[in-house]
Amino acid sequence: MSLTVENGSFFYLKESPILNNINFSADRGDIVAVLGKNGAGKTTLLKCITGLLKWKSGKSLLDDEDISKMPQRQRWSKIAYVPQAKNSLSTFTVEETVLLGRSSSLGIFSQPSKKDSDAVKNILNRLGISKISSKKCSRISGGELQMVLIAKALASEPDVLILDEPESNLDFRNQLIVLDTISKLASDGITCIFNTHYPAHALQRANKSLVFLSDGKTIFGETSKVVTEDVLENAFGVKAVIGNIETPSSVMKEVIPVSVSDMKPDGIKINEQQGFSLAVLAVICADNSSDVSINKLLHGCSHFLVGRMGMPYRDGGVYIINVIIDAPTDVIENLAFNLSILPGVSVKATYAKNIIERNDPNE
């Protein structure tokens, strides 16, 4: 299911628009991170996308169907919204809370059936929180509560999941659990859109990003292209360094804020083509759950591929893929990045020392 926003604008007072001509689209299984400073309009954007607030102009489309024209019940069985965590349901148990998420599929006077409570049990298992299912929501930790709210949203079996700062106010471990869950859900085919205060989380998880710039405009694109040092300085007023941290299994991006900056860069530089490189991508998949996503990514740059080898290594219980690619450097970087954010996928790129001097193979 694809979600598209066309020319979306929103304001409470006409003189001070909050959202200006927003355009973006997300396909099945995409993770879109929304970045911007406090008060930039991130939460407003999420509410407008879902129709909780009405666009003043423009629209959100779900597979070419205008969301605002869909009947409530149908809309909320396709989209689920996880608001910023606060405990308004403290008196219910975890299971009861998640069951409430099924209400869009139930008649107004009807009670949930065995089928519904089985679905809830499945979701609790899937998110690994079935141990706390009979605990009261007032007696669980913040991290557990966030997982419960995600479970409640998933109870309606949505195609699009929209999360408002899902990892805020959580500790190190719980942030990781929530982010891993989002990655997992996306690889299961759910489109995830989330607000975050952490540019690093966008760089580690999201294949696409939307950034609110200081002048109220937004830019949207592949995360590796739009979340750059320039853009962060413009958006947050912070000089930051984006670096790579190499772990045995992959290379991860990290953002270190260096100093507060009052300078506004004149223009935003989107990472440009930097010439061609030859590289070998070594990929190890822990299971076959990301097959579809990997094939889709590789297919997207098939005309750059020089060679490709894939084999299951049954003794190790893994699947190994080797890709030799001759492409513009940013294409290779983007491919490696998009592979690395898939759950259970390790990837590293080895580049040839010399950039080959030659023409684009397409010409």
In the complex, the smallest distance separating the C-beta of residue 201 from other proteins, rounded to whole angstroms, is: 23
Interface with other proteins includes 135 (CB under 8 A)? no
Where does this chain touch other proteins (CB under 8 A) — which range of 4-12, 32-40, 44-52, 270-278? 44-52
Residue the block writes with tokens 């779900």:
62
Give the Cβ contact number of residue 350 at 10 Å: 9
Distances (CA, A) of 204 to 21, 95, 134, 302: 27, 31, 34, 24
Interface with other proteins includes 41 (CB under 8 A)? no
Sign of the alpha-carbon dihedral angle for 90, 96, 99, 104: negative
Q: Whole-angstrom Cα distance, residue 264 to residue 44?
A: 25
Interface with other proteins includes 128 (CB under 8 A)? no
Which of 24, 26, 47, 339: binder of other proteins (CB under 8 A)?
47
Interface with other proteins includes 100 (CB under 8 A)? yes
Q: Whole-angstrom Cα distance, residue 313 to residue 285?
A: 10
Token pair belonging to 228: 């750059």
- Compute and round to an integer the Cα radius of gyration of the chain: 22
Interface with other proteins includes 195 (CB under 8 A)? no
Which of 13, 108, 260, 309: binder of other proteins (CB under 8 A)?
108
Q: Whole-angstrom Cα distance, residue 24 to residue 26?
A: 7
Which of 24, 60, 95, 271: binder of other proteins (CB under 8 A)?
95
Sign of the alpha-carbon dihedral angle for 152, 118, 176, 90: positive
Interface with other proteins includes 54 (CB under 8 A)? no
Interface with other proteins includes 103 (CB under 8 A)? yes
Interface with other proteins includes 117 (CB under 8 A)? yes
Where does this chain touch other proteins (CB under 8 A) — which range of 28-36, 107-115, 172-180, 221-229? 107-115
Within 101-207, strands assigned E span 160-163, 191-195
Closer to other proteins by CB, 113 or 273: give it. 113
Where does this chain touch other proteins (CB under 8 A) — which range of 9-17, 76-84, 240-248, 268-276? 76-84
**Residues paired with 125 in a beta bridge:** none
Alpha-helical segments (H) within 62-138: 72-78, 94-100, 114-126
Interface with other proteins includes 68 (CB under 8 A)? no
Interface with other proteins includes 93 (CB under 8 A)? yes
In the complex, the smallest distance separating the C-beta of residue 178 from other proteins, rounded to whole angstroms, is: 18
Q: Whole-angstrom Cα distance, residue 90 to residue 97?
A: 9
Q: Which residues bind other proteins (CB under 8 A)?
A: 47, 50, 52, 72-73, 75-77, 79-81, 83, 86, 88-93, 95-96, 99-101, 103-106, 108-114, 116-117, 121, 133-134, 136, 138, 153, 156
